[in-house]
Structure 1
Amino acid sequence: MNANNQPPSYLRELVETRFRKKTMVWTVPECGLSAAHRFSVSFNDGSKVFVKAATDPQTTVWLHREQLVLAAVQEPLMPRVIDWIEVPGGYPVLLTQDLSAAYWPAGHRGVHWRRGDQEQVFSGLRRLTGLPTIADLPLLPSKQWLLWPELAANPEPFLALELCSERRFRASVAALTAAEALNDESGNHLVHGDMRSDNICFDGQQVVFVDWSHAAQGSARSDLARLLPTLYLEGGPRPATIIPDGGSAAAAACAVHFSRIRHEPMPDWLKTVFVKLVAIELEWAAECLALEKPDGISWQTLG
């Protein structure tokens, strides 16, 4: 994408040729971290379409997965597929229902859930777990790479976050390590794989989940467990009130987010978000595993 957020010429030509009409405005959505091109496109007849175009081999894989799900399931919970463009030697383009007029909780000004929105999300997730899975989607693992043993052996970087004292860490680390080892995301349910506020909108009274590029087959509560810590950060319920037996998921998520802080380059604002998630997940794990509450900095006071 060039500096003024206009589409590359090849993409404009592909879309105008496929629809046989001229495009007038290409608008980049406020949220989303995908490396793919993403635009809400207005045509000269007043109609709109959402355009998502792969930009490299990785986004090509993700876009194929998204198209597979949206074309196979065709639920109100998902954007409606309008077309798919794939030309020899080029990257594919997915064209879907434009939802720019929907209500999006997440935006440049933060995240703002209206009354009843989160209940709609929970209802949509229950509906999602009842949908048939798709055999060609990747399987979430029953066992993952364990991170808490490394933290137990080298606790200083974790303790540097000041989320708990060394005494509390050493009193809890064995239980957290054991809980992480029991975390199992496998299953035969359709999983979105990247459930968060900027991938959720409301088209009237209908909740819609977008960006299915990380869809998979897995546990019925995988999406809910991934969403709850960020939802709590945004004013939602404490995770333990929704999944009171979520100690394994919480311990695993806490370790994963901490590992990302340590090993992935990220801007300071995103690092602060991740530290808050680590704090929330540590509290969630402690509550579910009957451990003492962390005695360090509260996530509410961070940044």
Structure 2
Amino acid sequence: MPAVTASGVRATWESLPAAVRAGIDDVLGSPVVAAHNQSGGFSPGLAARVRCADGGRAFVKAVGTPLNPESPDLHRREIDVAAALPPGVPAPRFRGSYDDGDWVALVFDEVDGRMPHEPWRPDELRLVVDAVTGLSRSLTPCPVPSPRRARDEMREPMLGYRSLAGDPPDDLDPWERRHLDRLAELAASSLDVVDGDTLVHYDLRADNVLLSSSGVWFVDWPWAFRGAAWLDSVLLLLNAAYHGHDPEPYLDGHPLLDGVDPWHVTAVLAGFAGFFGAFGRRPPPPGLPTVRAFQLAQHATTLAWVRRRTGWE
């Protein structure tokens, strides 16, 4: 199956309400005179590299309820995380925010970098796998005060197979249909093993990574929570599998999985297969027309990995 690009229909700097642009200028301390609108990701909001009248540069993201009613709250969640990330974490420095109740904007230092190639190149994938290991170690113990817990945040996704089992779609994969109850039980069991004391990014894909001359940077933190140190490494490899890479060699000998029961990893993978399969069949959210196709494409590659790991006939 051809890969579905992680992209949506983004707002542009020019399309933002004048009051929002003025509020961002205030955060920057100088008016924006040029903006390079960015693509990629699923948010309907703005993502732009901007240049100010004083010569300063920054990265700005903004979204409002007219684009998607839930997206502003995700930006507010990211503000809480970004403001608490300690120095030294490879994430762009947070400079400030704007919030008028409908529109929310975040301003960061600009990173002179690029996203990894899609599909992943082996050398870049190895570089980022190692960087994620370092990231998780640096975020243990969790540095963000009272963040959400993995068990709570992952409950709905990890119960996706229960939803499918309650009303099985006609187009389920035959192997998946045959083992639907077992998959639902396995996926639900993941909720017993995902807690921990690491700040987990929880949305690691190629489009949330930047490669620069100074190293690997991780962006877009609205989903972050406190959880097991190995979760982000497994999530990154879900994306690698989606792009055709065999993820198993990257798990073999992984330092954050030392002592972790392999069946716990399989349970989390089963949970994501159920999540992608259940949510990918829903109508698309406002402003995100491609996300369901992306979820269904990820379902196919994640299910193949789960089938391989379970060994069920």
Q: Shorter-normalised TM-score: what interval?
A: 0.7 to 0.9
Structure 1 position 289, deviation (Å) = 1.7
Instruction: Tell whether 2:146 aligns with 1:136.
Output: yes
Residues 29 and 284 (structure 1), Cα distance of their counterparts in 2 relative to 1, 3 Å cut:
same
Residues 4 and 124 (structure 1), Cα distance of their counterparts in 2 relative to 1, 3 Å cut:
closer
The residue that corresponds to 1:273 in the other structure is 294
2:55 alignment partner, SS class: coil
Q: Is the 8 A contact 1:6 1:26 kept in 2?
A: no
Q: Is the 8 A contact 1:32 1:198 kept in 2?
A: yes
Deviations 1:191-221 (CA, angstroms, capped at 9, x unpaired): 1122111111112141111011111112222
How does the TM-score come out when normalised to structure 1? 0.78
Instruction: Tell whether 2:302 aligns with 1:290.
Output: no
Instruction: Tell whether 2:109 aligns with 1:97.
Output: yes
Aligned identity (percent) is: 23
How does the TM-score come out when normalised to structure 2? 0.76
Instruction: Tell whether 2:260 aligns with 1:229.
Output: no
Q: Is the 8 A contact 2:81 2:221 kept in 1?
A: yes
2:94 to 59, 70, 81: 81
Structure 1 position 42, deviation (Å) = 1.0
Q: Tell me, which stretches of 5 or more residues in structure 2 are unaligned? A: 1-9, 253-261
Instruction: Tell whether 2:197 aligns with 1:188.
Output: yes
- Answer with 1 or 2: which has the greater Rg: 1
Q: Name which of structure 1's ranges 193-202 and 69-78 shifts more when overlaid on structure 2.
A: 69-78
Q: Name which of structure 1's ranges 206-215 and 141-150 shifts more when overlaid on structure 2.
A: 141-150
The residue that corresponds to 1:249 in the other structure is 268
Q: Name which of structure 1's ranges 32-41 and 266-275 shifts more when overlaid on structure 2.
A: 266-275
Root-mean-square deviation (CA), in Å? 3.1
Aligned residue identity for 1:97: D
The residue that corresponds to 2:160 in the other structure is 147
Q: Tell me, which stretches of 5 or more residues in structure 1 are unaligned? A: 293-303
Alignment partners' CA distance in 2, 1:277 and 1:202: 24
1:263 alignment partner, SS class: coil
The residue that corresponds to 1:46 in the other structure is 55
Deviations 1:169-212 (CA, angstroms, capped at 9, x unpaired): 45533432331121123222101122111111112141111011
Q: Which has the higher contact order (CA 8 A, sep 6+)?
A: 2
Residues 117 and 251 (structure 1), Cα distance of their counterparts in 2 relative to 1, 3 Å cut:
same
